[in-house]
Each structure stands twice: as structure tokens, then as C-alpha cells.
Amino acid sequence: MNIIVCVKRVPDITEAAGVVKIEESHKQIDKKNLVFKINEWDEFAVEEAVRLKEKSGGRVVAITVGPQEWDDVARKALAMGADEAIRIDEDVESADCYVVANILAKAIQQQSYDLIMFGAQSEDFGSAQLGPMVAESLGIPHATLIKHIELQNGGLKVSREIEEGMLELHTLSLPALLTIQTGINNPRYVSFVNIKRARDKQLSVLDIQSLSLAKEELTPKAMLERFDPPDVGKKAEVLSGSIEEVVDSLVGILKDAGVL
Amino acid sequence: MALQEYESIIYRCFRCGYCKLPSDYGDYNCPIYARFRLETCFPGGILWLMRAWWKNEIRWTDRLAKILFSCTTCSNCVEECVMSFKTDILNMITAGKSDMVEMGSVPAKVKGFLENITRYGNPYGESREKRDMWLEGTDIEQYKGQEYLYYVGCVGSYDTRAKEVTKSLGKLLLKSGLDFGVLGKEENCDGNEVRGLGEESLFEAMADDNIKQFRDSGVKKIVTLSPHSYNAMHKYYSQPDGDFEVLHYTQVVKSLIYDKKLDVTKGLTAKVTYHDPCFLGRWNTEYEAPREILGAIPGIELVEMERNKSNAFCCGGGGGNFYIDSFGSSEYVPARIRVREALSTGADILAVACPICLTMLDDAVKVEGIEDRLKVMDISEIVASVCLQEG
């Protein structure tokens, strides 16, 4: 089974790591003290792809679109077990999903594949558009938020996570595209030794010109105007009284807020 | 497989159980066994599981990994095993961890711990920018060739409670006139827990980087806050390239008191019991320096817990467990067992000499609800309360 996994490089923004600051232009974040890593959803996707390959044979190719710093994310995929990685050399930070989808679709068309996997969304922009856009561009079926994959009779049986943890069961014929939900597996830890070993695996850098994309395909349809941090709320209400009274007040507040 | 190296020995453990106990058989002294009381959860049981896994008699499971990684590397088993291969007991358990690390199949928190170290230079995943925040309000200088490097470590740099100790020790050293500096933001993790988690290659890479940094900065003598740092540098950095003199701070403070560079005559009236940290005590046989410090302070009555010195009961924080938290919540969590033991001596103060022991035991005292009866204090805090004019 030949699998393509698309991966993105994102800043690590877990709480402990520090607060993200917005640049003067209000169009970018201040990258100075940030540490970058593979997008969490993509890590689950790579792990799932490698496990499928380990079970039923085939190849896993990891693809990413970005400048040279993005090599580290491609190498992470290799270290996790991908057989080959391709980085399309283009800084798409100010592009939208339409442009990135066009680039990826073109690059994917140059490969042979049975299955394409994306993370369900990215940690930074979280649009969740890329996977479905690429599937439509390639004219193949897709399913999003996948929690479980089973190969059967030249097709797939998948579970899709919807609200309240419920799962929808779908069957798809191959080739198909899946976007992967977190928690589908436990991504492996890549030891220092295995990171070094991955250096011997193939990482090709593709010139964007070689994809022969039309100007229209590289022109974003959506432009980021600006972003700002949310207003910090100044209201804090301290509930008082006995435990029972406090609980009643709290339940009332939560009900009013539509949470309960 | 790393376990391969121990092929001739691993079969020979027949689960006698000496590794569960201290030398007087008074109580259970393996923190995993004391917590879980299952026969898989002590070194003998773990070795049998490792052997069976290695020979494909059992499969890897999440539970197997959790049992293995709950080992705090306290070394009680090495101390108490009566067989000729006792010195390899812990090495075998660590080899098992190493094989799981190689496979990539480790508990999620172990993965987080190691990845955070690689990305941030500390297991918490806290920004490097915050590593020197403890320096605020002190006159401690950046290291630029002074006689000593005061090496703080990750827990001392980031943990809220531990930072108080990092500061108090720094102020003590300043008061004594010791010529020293710190690396601040430039400091990197010593790697001791990385080694204890079986990530040997990562540890070696970290050690190499640290040794190079120390050499390039002209470091000759290192005084560490943590016994973990002391262990890593004293035992493993020296060969073959790092030729530094490494001391734990209790060894330095002891000399400073004896040389009258620190004046403890003001004294302190308190009943104090001292908890030997595994990495200062059993791992490096330093039992006396901390006790000599306490003995030099007039008014302190030193009372020993039943399990002391080479029999000390581990706080449960080693092997990365101060972060990985294999022991969860229970009255049998090692740290809680230990503070109850300390309380039973009648002591007012439970003295520690390790920032990990400090946070583990300090939290345990709170959970036990005995804060008003037992105070957990680092030895440097005790000395500082006597030597320094606060305010």
C-alpha cells in the first residue's frame, strides 16, 4: 500500500512554552523565541501511515511545502518510519489553503499512491481545509476526523469522530484521502539514534517551478488582513456562601451560559 | 537489544526479594513495590518481565512500559541484592527502558519529557527565556571564568518551590565570598534523568555539548545544586574528555562553615531529620557532608529516620518521575510514606539536599495535611536562615 502523508511545521504553543506575541504588522507572529515542531495532527497521521505500512507492506512518502527550515519536519517523518520525504521549496506563509492545496495536489499527482493522509487541522490556523481541498482537486473520495482505519477488499473501512465522541462508520474505495484525528494512536518516540539513522533516508527538495502551476493557482483567494489577541476580560465573580449555595450559583451560571 | 548484553545474568535472578527491602528488613524499600505491592513491581519481577519480553514470551503492552518506567533508579536494589551481579541490577532495568526507547514505545509522559528536553533544554517544556528568572533580586553574576561554576539544573531553574532554594544557596555562596558564576539562559540540562530513562545516546550528546560549553568557558570546578547533576557530571562527564572537579553543594558548604567563611554561631533550635537523596547517598556514598553541616549549627538536634543513609527510602522523583508521575495518587505514594516516616521521628524539619526530593516531599506534606507539624527545608535554606540577615 503506497501512502502519502502531508506534514506541516508549526510553532510549539503548549501553555508552558510561553506566550505567542504578534508582530508590529499584525500579520505575523514574532518567531524569535519560538520552537518549531511537526503539527500534532500530522504526527498522528505519520504514525498511522507507518503502522499501516508495517502491517501490510508498501511505502510511505512524506510531503511538505516550505523553506529550508522545514527540512526538520520532513526528517521527523523519516525518523518515524516514512521511506522518503519531499519538500517543495516555497514559503507559503502568506498563501491560503487554496494555493497550498494546488501545490500539494500537483506534487502528489507525480507520485503513485493508494492513500493520502493529512492531519485533520493545523495547530496554528486550524482551518481544516487542506485535506478536503486536495481530495477534491484530485477527484478522489475523502473522509475527515478519522479515529480508526481498517483495510478491506481493496478499500477502507473508517471511523469518523463526531460530537460527543460518537463514531460514524464509512467505507471508501481506494485511492482515497483521509484527515486524521488526534488520539487515533500513540505516536512513537523517536530516539536520538533513530534521528541520526534517518539522515540516510532520502529527502528530495522540489523546485516549485517544476510543478508548472498556473499564476491563478498560486494566487490566494483569501488574504489575512490582520490578527489581534483577544481582549482580556476584566470581570471576575467570586461566589460566596456554603458549598451547596456556591454549587447552585455555579450551576445556574453555567446553564445561563449554555454550557450545561 | 540492550538487554542482550545481560544475557548471562538476567536468568539468574530468582526473585528472592532482597531488593524490595532495606538492610534491616524493616519495611518495603523499593518505591515501586511500596506503592503497588504487585510482584511485577519490584526489580526481581521487572527483570523476569524483561527477560520474557526479550525472549518474545510476552508482548509489549502499555502496562509493561508503565511498570518499567516507574523505576525511579533509586539503587536500593543494587545496594541490597545478595548476588554477584548486584551491580548490574539497575543497569538491566535501564537496558529494558533503552530497548523500549529504541522501539519508540514509551508512555506518553516519557515521550513528552524527552522531547521537551530536546526542544527546550528542560523537561517541563518551559521557554529558555525563563531559565534565569530565579536570578532576579540577587547579585549573582554570569559565569565568565570565575573559580566555580554554580550549576543549577532544570528543576532548580523552573520549579517554583525549588527556585527558592536555588536563590538561597546562591545568596549563601555570595555571602561566603566564593568566586562563582552561573550560566543562566545558556545552561542546558545535565541529562541524568535522560540516562536513567534509557536514552543513552541522547545523554551522551547532551554530555558532549555541556562538556564543550564548560571547556570553552574555562570551567574547572563545578558546584551543583542537585545531586542528579552531581551524579551525571561526577560519574559520567569526566570520562574521557571532561576533566572538571565536581562537587555537590553540601560538600562545599560544609567546608565553608568549617573554614569560618559562613558564620552559623547564631544557631537554630529545631529537631531536624535528614532525608538522604538517592543520587548523593546510595549512588555516590556521600552521607556525611549534609549531616556535618547540620551538626555544626548550634541548637539543631539531628534525629534519624529508621531508614537512613544507605537504607534511605526514595522520594519517588527519580527516573524522570517528578514529571512522569508513575505513582499517581494514593496514601502509598513513596513521598507520602516518607513524610509520615519523618513525622514519626518527632522532627520539626525534614531536611533535604536535592530539589527533586524537595518538591516531592513538600507536596506530600501538603497532601498529608501535616504542614503545621513538619516543614520541608533544603539544607541551604536552613543554613541561610542562620547565616543571612533577611529583610
Q: A32-49: per-residue pLDDT in tens?
A: 878 899 999 999 999 999
What are the residue ranges of helices labelled H in A82-224?
Answer: 97-109, 130-138, 192-198
Q: Around B163, how many Cα atoms within 13 Å sit in the side-chain half-sphere?
A: 14
User: Which range (A5-9, A231-235, B99-103, B206-210) has the least confidence?
Assistant: A231-235
Q: Which of A150, A141, A231 is nearest to A177 (CA)?
A: A141
- H or E element that contains A83: none
Average pLDDT over residues B57-82: 97
Q: What is the pLDDT of residue B240?
A: 57
- Report the chain B residue with the minimal C-alpha distance to residue A17: B126
Indicate yes or no: CB of A17 within 8 angstroms of CB of B127: yes
User: Which residue in A12, A16, A33 is closest to B129 by CB distance?
Assistant: A33
Contacts of B104 in chain A (CB under 8 A): 80, 188-191, 194
Can you spell out the DSSP letters for A164-202?
GG-EEEEEEESSEEEEEPTTSS-PPP--HHHHHHHTTSE
Indicate yes or no: CB of A192 within 8 angstroms of CB of B201: yes
pLDDT level of residue A228 (50, 70, 90 thresholds)? confident
* pLDDT of A20 above 80: no
**Is B78 in contact with B282 (CB distance < 8 Å)?**
yes
Average pLDDT over residues B109-122: 95
Nearby residues of B86 by Cβ (< 8 Å), 6 or more positions away = B77, B78, B80
Q: Around B274, how many Cα atoms within 13 Å sit in the side-chain half-sphere?
A: 26
Nearby residues of A126 by Cβ (< 8 Å), 6 or more positions away = none
User: Which residue in A12, A18, A191 is closest to B102 by CB distance?
Assistant: A191
Q: How far apart are the first and last CA of chain B?
A: 58
Contacts of A17 in chain B (CB under 8 A): 120, 125-127
Report chain B's mean pLDDT, rounded to a whole number: 95
Cα B110 from Cα B193, distance rounded (Å): 11
Report chain A's mean pLDDT, rounded to a whole number: 93
pTM higher than the cut 0.90: yes
The three cell numbers of residue A123 are 495547530
Q: What is the pLDDT of residue A28?
A: 87
Is B333 in a helix, a strand, or coil?
Answer: coil
Q: What is the pLDDT of residue A17?
A: 55
**Is A9 in contact with A64 (CB distance < 8 Å)?**
yes
Size of interface A-B (CB pairs under 8 A): 52
- Report the chain A residue with the minimal C-alpha distance to residue B204: A192
Q: Which of B265, B285, B226 is nearest to B383 (CA)?
A: B265
Contacts of A192 in chain B (CB under 8 A): 199, 201-202, 205
- Distance from the Cα of A189 to chain B's closest Cα (Å) equals 4
Cα A96 from Cα A222, distance rounded (Å): 6
**Is B202 in contact with A191 (CB distance < 8 Å)?**
yes
- Distance from the Cα of A15 to chain B's closest Cα (Å) equals 9
- Phi, psi of A71, deg, nearest 5: -55, -35
User: Which residue in A17, A80, A196 is closest to B125 by CB distance?
Assistant: A17
Q: Is the peptide bond before B31 cis (omega within 30 degrees of 0)?
A: no
Q: What is the pLDDT of residue B35?
A: 97
* pLDDT of B241 above 70: no
User: Which range (A224-233, A250-259, B105-114) has the least confidence?
Assistant: A224-233
User: Which range (A91-100, B67-76, B230-239) has the least confidence?
Assistant: B230-239
- Flag whether residue B60 sits within 8 Å of chain A, measured between CB atoms: no
User: Which residue in B106, B115, B127 is closest to A18 by CB distance?
Assistant: B127
* pLDDT of A14 above 90: no
Cα A101 from Cα A127, distance rounded (Å): 13
* pLDDT of B243 above 50: yes
Mutation target vs A (from B106, B124, B127, B129; most A CBs, 10 A cutoff): B127
- Distance from the Cα of B257 to chain A's closest Cα (Å) equals 39
- Report the chain B residue with the minimal C-alpha distance to residue A192: B202
Q: What is the pLDDT of residue B361?
A: 98
Indicate yes or no: CB of A17 within 8 angstroms of CB of B114: no
**Is B66 in contact with B107 (CB distance < 8 Å)?**
yes
Q: What is the pLDDT of residue B242?
A: 58
- Flag whether residue B130 sits within 8 Å of chain A, measured between CB atoms: yes
Q: What is the pLDDT of residue B391?
A: 40
Average pLDDT over residues A184-188: 96
- Flag whether residue B106 sits within 8 Å of chain A, measured between CB atoms: yes
pLDDT level of residue A19 (50, 70, 90 thresholds)? low
Tell me the pLDDT tens digit for each residue of B307-352: 999 999 999 999 999 999 999 999 999 999 999 999 999 999 999 9
Q: What is the pLDDT of residue A15?
A: 60
B127 versus B53: which is more confidently predicted? B53
What are the residue ranges of helices labelled H in chain B?
Answer: 7-10, 31-36, 43-54, 62-69, 76-80, 89-103, 108-120, 154-158, 160-175, 192-196, 200-217, 227-231, 249-258, 288-296, 321-324, 334-343, 355-368, 379-387
- H or E element that contains A40: helix A40-56
Average pLDDT over residues A68-95: 96
